Amino acid sequence: MSWIFKNKIAIIVAVIGAISGLLYWNFIGCATGNCGVTANWHTSLGFGGVMGWLIGDVANDKINKSDKK
């Protein structure tokens, strides 16, 4: 349970990224079906989630370092 509290910002941003990826697929998507990321909803959702996790993890580290000072 402490892991969740320690990484709550990264988790929240990953969920936002996954939702954003799904919305991108739904509204913009790929007309030809040959796009690697946006051709299927699950790849777009996963890519958004991973990108969100990476951004959230960097932000989480910055916030945790500033709290310790």
Residue 64 confidence (pLDDT):
82
**How many folded domains does the chain comprise?**
1
Predicted confidence at residue 33, as pLDDT, reads: 75
Q: What's the Cα-to-Cα distance from 25 to each of 21, 29, 45, 53, 65, rounded to whole Å? A: 6, 4, 8, 19, 35
Q: For 4-53, write each residue's pLDDT tens digit.
A: 888 999 999 999 999 999 999 999 988 887 888 888 899 999 999 999 99
Provide the residue range defining the domain that includes 49.
Answer: 2-68
48 and 26 Cβ atoms separated by less than 8 Å: no
